[in-house]
Amino acid sequence: MKQRTFTMLKPDALKRRLTGEILSRFEKRGIKVIAAKTLMISEDLAKTHYGEHSDKPFFGDLVSYITSGPVFAMVLEGDDVITQVRKMVGATNPKEADVGTIRGDYAIDTGRNIVHASDSEESAKREIGLFFDESEFCDYVLPDENIIYEEP
């Protein structure tokens, strides 16, 4: 089933010039980028986005980390894309993330795990709405969709 998810490269990914490399993993899989932008997250947006963690001991550090530099926010579209992108991202703790996942290949520390991805349909909807306006979505057909998908 075609879905949309919210994915965000965190400041460490941009500072380490990994944006293109990580984005290309999604592109090569056949996942469509329907919106993307580089932005600085305000403290308010960081606290709202990570609201479910507000009582955790790492919350303050998490908000400082995510607001410490630009992020690259994306809306990705594809079949079962919420689950598939979470699998590509890997476990929260990069030391436990499988090799071949983004965190398993590029990160080593939970507090610097370079990428965020929505974990459910509900969070995808919420997070897309926090970062993007409907008018920013590009509705287009990739010329190889009939090769990527058996039934486009």
Return the active site residues: 116
Closer to Mg ion by CB, 55 or 151: give it: 55
Closer to Mg ion by CB, 22 or 118: give it: 118
Up-side HSE of residue 87: CA atoms within 13 Å toward CB?
6
Residue 105 has a CB neighbour count (10 Å cut-off) of 17
Cβ-in-10-Å burial (0-12, 13-18, 19+) of 6 comes to buried
Closer to ligand IDP by CB, 126 or 148: give it: 126
Closer to ligand IDP by CB, 62 or 130: give it: 62
Amino acid letter, residue 18 = L
Q: Is 100 left (phi over 0), alpha (psi -120 to 50) or beta?
A: left
Cα–chain center distance at 8: 3
Q: Which residue's CB atom is positioned nearest to Mg ion?
A: 119
110 binds, among ligand IDP, Mg ion, none (CB under 5 to 8 A by kind): ligand IDP
Q: Where along the sequence are the contacts to ligand IDP (CB under 6 A)?
A: 53, 58, 62, 92, 110-111, 113, 116, 119
Distance of closest approach, residue 138 Cβ to ligand IDP, in angstroms = 26
Q: Mark residues 116-135: x for contact with Mg ion by CB under 5 A, - for none.
A: ---x----------------
Q: Which of 39, 81, 17, 76 is CA-nearest to residue 49? A: 39
Distance of closest approach, residue 119 Cβ to Mg ion, in angstroms = 5
Q: Which residues bind Mg ion (CB under 5 A)?
A: 119
